[in-house]
Chain A
Amino acid sequence: MSGNNHKIIFTGPVGAGKTTAISAISDIPVLKTDENAQDMTKKRKQTTTVAMDYGLLNLGDGERIHLYGTPGQERFDFMWEILTQGGLGLILLLDNSRPDPFKDMQFFVNSFSDFISDKKMVVGITHMENNPAPTIETYHHHLKKHDIKAPVLEVDARKKEDIETLLKVLLYSLDPWLGK
């Protein structure tokens, strides 16, 4: 049994689908730490994650991957540094229906810049079915401004196959030798 505390971190703004995405692939019911949302956050979601969401991937033989969702509200960002310790990679979920998703992207890319430069990040864009703009191409353009080359994929956080694909993309980006 491995004693390592491996994590995959899901981050993004309120309502981007972090809790739903973790629920889609977790082997256990996700432990949520929601409470009624306050102020601006309430407009987007009635409850929000205050500490973290927690899910688990059981790999067998006692080996496990912890799935952590960061708190949605910016005022809890002191948690993020703690959460990223032992992290394998980052999944950034962005909500295409928000007024300025690029501002969100910039905020999270800056917040996790050290982690991203050391590990890998994949970006999942949610709510595109009803909000086709901005396009995936535009996200790539904005990432390029930050000198970041990361996969950007449209996802529906409720769809297990979408989140699995996102995770596969993260894994192959981390190690192209996988499957060889």
Chain B
Amino acid sequence: MPKQKKADPIRVTTTGLDKRSQEVLRMAFSSAGKGACILVDEASAEVGICNMDASNARTLWQQNSTRYPERQMVVISVNDPLLENTIYVSKPINIVLLLNAIKQAHAVGCINQAEAIATGTTKPASTQQSRPSDNSKPSHRRAGSPPSSTEEFKIPDIKLSEIKEEVVSYYSPGEFLQGKLHDAFNFAHEKEVATQFSIKIDGEWKNITADPVHKKVFSEIEDDELKKLCTTPIFCIETKSSFLSKKETQYELYRNDKPHSESSIDQFLWKIALWTSSGRMQKGINPSSPIQLKHWPNLTRLQQSPNDIRIAALLSEQPSAPALVAKVLGIPLGEVFSFYAASHTLGLVKSVTKSRARPPSFNLPQKSRHHSLFGKILQKISGAN
């Protein structure tokens, strides 16, 4: 059987981008993207990028969704257009985030396809993706791609674990601010002394002070700035840390001469982990290996992402692999990774040996007989009514 080549780039097409922007993207794919993605024609693409700021963007997006219903879409825009089943990347575009989004979209597509094949629910290729016949080029296919209408339907040699591992973006918290902050806070906690972590921003030192006794963090750095710093490699940031005496702690923590925000240590570490992950998975964690929540995060006091409650509900119920959680809930893989990163930093998540984790399809809680009613309550309290 043909074996999937690891080096195959993800085939990407664009909608609503002018020629110049496409060229810029092509260059970015080959330089920063290291050839992980290539721009191709509309018919042979696996992932689409739609510029929602184009004048007729909505119409183009609609046409695309109709013609290629199975294709995963990344939408780029100044404001989130809130389109279902898409991954949003805000402008100005950060190429790393865009590449991550494309990889996530591709992963979701592969998983969808593999599971459809595994469960025998794959639609005939002719209806799955209606391709213009003049653009159908079987030679562009790779293992796992939907066969064209003229090809005999065969189950490709796909192993879910391989797909997931291959397309996921990894990061190591230790290579970012998160690792340094974590180490400093841990040390402060062990010694029960406040620690002051300073970061040089535009020539000025700004402080993050953690008080382990009262479990508080005081930060002079605004969230927008901090968020940017979280995805900047640590070697690009000038930092220093020191421990404070009791007297210094009182002064540093409660002086009012510098604007600062106050949060609990858990709140602070949670958001730092979310921002650092940005949809990436921590190195050393296999997305196809099951994980389980030890207990629910205190979500009323932590920065929430749209699907955190859903992910927590599933992971507290049973061990599941992140890739399958994303599939089961129909959400981007990156959201599960970010949730994992944040939960992991607070020690709320554990790995489970595969033998203990049954496939979700077998033991997922059944849809409640009140499903429709619950949906209405949810709509009501989410302000939809």
Interface positions of A (Cβ within 8 A of B): 2, 4, 6, 25, 57-60, 63, 65, 88, 132, 136-137, 140, 149-155, 161-162, 164-169, 171-180
How many angstroms between the C-alpha atoms of A162 and B7 in the bound complex?
Answer: 48
Q: A175–B371 contact, CB under 8 A?
A: yes
Q: A174–B374 contact, CB under 8 A?
A: yes
A176-B295 CB under 8 A given contacts A60-B385, A88-B370: no
Q: Does B205 contact A (CB under 8 A)?
A: no
A176-B381 CB under 8 A given contacts A152-B295, A154-B298: no
Q: Which A residues touch B295, using CB under 8 A?
A: 137, 140, 149, 151-152
Q: Which of B304, B317, B329, B378 contacts A171 (CB 8 A)?
A: B378
Q: Which A residues touch B376, using CB under 8 A?
A: 59-60, 63
Interface positions of B (Cβ within 8 A of A): 215, 294-296, 298-301, 304, 307, 309-310, 312-314, 316-317, 328-330, 364-365, 367-368, 370-371, 373-378, 380-382, 385
Q: Which of A6, A58, A152 contacts B298 (CB 8 A)?
A: A152
> Closest 10 CB pairs between A and B?
A151-B296, A175-B368, A172-B313, A140-B295, A59-B376, A177-B367, A153-B300, A164-B381, A176-B313, A171-B374
Q: A178–B375 contact, CB under 8 A?
A: yes
Q: A178–B300 contact, CB under 8 A?
A: no
Q: Which A residues touch B374, using CB under 8 A?
A: 88, 171, 174-175, 178
Q: A165–B300 contact, CB under 8 A?
A: yes
Minimal beta-carbon separation of B112 from chain A (angstroms):
14
A136-B313 CB under 8 A given contacts A171-B378, A178-B375: no
Q: Which of A59, A155, A162, A165 contacts B377 (CB 8 A)?
A: A59
Q: Which A residues touch B368, using CB under 8 A?
A: 174-175, 177
A160 (CB) vs chain B CBs: closest residue: B381
Q: A179–B310 contact, CB under 8 A?
A: yes
A contacts with B: majority SS? mixed
Q: Which B residues touch A166, using CB under 8 A?
A: 300
A166 (CB) vs chain B CBs: closest residue: B300
Q: Which B residues touch A176, using CB under 8 A?
A: 310, 313-314, 317, 329, 364-365
B318 (CB) vs chain A CBs: closest residue: A176
Q: Which of A25, A58, A154, A164 contacts B301 (CB 8 A)?
A: A154
Q: B298–A178 contact, CB under 8 A?
A: no
Minimal beta-carbon separation of B325 from chain A (angstroms):
10
How many angstroms between the C-alpha atoms of A88 and B364 in the bound complex?
Answer: 19
Of B299, B313, B317, most buried by chain A (CB within 10 Å of CB) is: B313
A132 (CB) vs chain B CBs: closest residue: B215
A175 (CB) vs chain B CBs: closest residue: B368
For the complex with contacts A60-B376, A172-B309, A174-B370, 5 further pairs of A-B residues with Cβ separation under 8 Å are A25-B381, A171-B378, A175-B365, A175-B374, A176-B365
A88 (CB) vs chain B CBs: closest residue: B370
